[in-house]
Amino acid sequence: MAKKLSYNEVKIKVGLDENQLPEKLTWEATDGDKNSNAKATFVSFWDGDAQQTLSLQLWVKDFTTDEMKQFIHQSIVLLTDTYEKAAGKSKIIRDMRDFTDYFAEKTGITPPSGEFKLNPDK
């Protein structure tokens, strides 16, 4: 007997301007309670048959270069976390974390001290 699966759905809506450039991104999930606005998204799917990654990469036209630097940095950190959960601690994880620190410093999104000030007024 086949196992019955339940499904959740994630929708990404892309508002395009007259030149077909993304101007607004919203997303929602069936287990969520509302649409959420976003300025960028990377969605990747693994095609097991073709043994390759398929991806969707979108950002709105008012997404700044500084925001893109932070988005890429945080995405690499998340990928590193994901890989560590799947493969465990290893030298490559340390190397990946070193690279994320290097990337943050070289793009100017963190001071050379490496200290982020999340609430500078407090």
By the 8 A CB rule, do 114 and 101 touch?
yes
| pLDDT (tens digit per residue) in 58-103 | 999 999 999 999 999 999 999 999 999 999 989 999 999 999 999 9
Measure the CA–CA gap between 99 and 120, rounded to whole angstroms. 26
User: Which structural domain range is residue 19 located in?
Assistant: 10-62
Which amino acid is located at 27 in the chain? W
What pLDDT was estimated at residue 60?
Answer: 98
Measure the CA–CA gap between 80 and 93, rounded to whole angstroms. 7
- Cβ count near 47 (within 10 Å): 9
What pLDDT was estimated at residue 38?
Answer: 96
State mean pLDDT over 6-19.
Answer: 95
57 falls within a domain: yes
- Show the tokens assigned to 36: 């959420």
Same domain, 74 and 58: no
Measure the CA–CA gap between 65 and 61, rounded to whole angstroms. 11
120 falls within a domain: no
Number of domains in the chain: 2
2 falls within a domain: no
119 falls within a domain: no
